[in-house]
């Protein structure tokens, strides 16, 4: 399994043809207390860059983009009842949705963990 990061502060775990997507710990810290997560329906298809989910704090609503193209195979229903999971465990239990990867070449050019850390430090 390998983990990728985007400059939109999302992480992607790739296992075979399935990618699990969430927002980074840095992102959840910036957003503050998460109060609601709107997740995509299973079967929804996204092109890379489409609005795929919404994450809300008290004062802001942020779009989560599909980091790569694909079809949603599962959404993390635990977030519906407990959006605070995104704050407490953004990069594991707080995942958002899983995609069936349409084009693995889109993963090229994404950051690894070290590169993302460097990117965050530069902000």
- Near another protein in 9-68, by CB under 8 A: 33, 35-36, 38, 56-61
C-alpha count within 13 angstroms, C-beta hemisphere, residue 101: 17
The residue among 27 and 101 lying less far from another protein, judged by its C-beta, is: 27
The residue among 32 and 112 lying less far from another protein, judged by its C-beta, is: 32
Mind giving me the DSSP string for 72-86?
Answer: EEEE-THHHH-TTHH
- Near another protein in 96-115, by CB under 8 A: none
Nearest to 8 by CA among 48, 42, 35, 40: 48
Contact with another protein (CB under 8 A) among 84, 107, 111, 120 = 84
* Tokens encoding 20: 């699990």
The residue among 20 and 76 lying less far from another protein, judged by its C-beta, is: 76
Least Å distance, CB 112 to another protein, is 32
The residue among 8 and 13 lying less far from another protein, judged by its C-beta, is: 8
Least Å distance, CB 85 to another protein, is 11
Mind giving me the DSSP string for 32-69?
Answer: -SEEEEE-PPTT-EE-TT-EEEEEEESS-EEEEE-SS-
Residues contacting residue 47 through CB under 8 Å, at least 6 positions apart: 66, 69
Instruction: Return residues touching another protein (CB under 8 A).
Output: 33, 35-36, 38, 56-61, 83-84
């Amino acid at each position: 399994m390998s983990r990728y990061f985007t400059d939109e502060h999302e992480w992607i775990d790739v296992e075979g043809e399935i990618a699990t997507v969430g927002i980074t710990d840095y992102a959840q810290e910036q957003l503050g207390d998460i109060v609601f997560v709107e997740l995509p329906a299973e079967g929804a298809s996204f092109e890379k860059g489409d609005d795929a989910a919404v994450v809300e704090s008290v004062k802001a609503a942020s779009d989560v983009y599909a980091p790569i193209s694909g079809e949603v195979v599962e959404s993390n229903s635990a977030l519906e009842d407990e959006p605070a999971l995104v704050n407490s465990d953004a990069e594991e239990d707080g995942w958002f949705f899983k995609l069936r990867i349409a084009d693995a070449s889109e993963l090229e050019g994404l950051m690894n963990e070290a590169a993302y850390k460097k990117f965050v430090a530069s902000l």
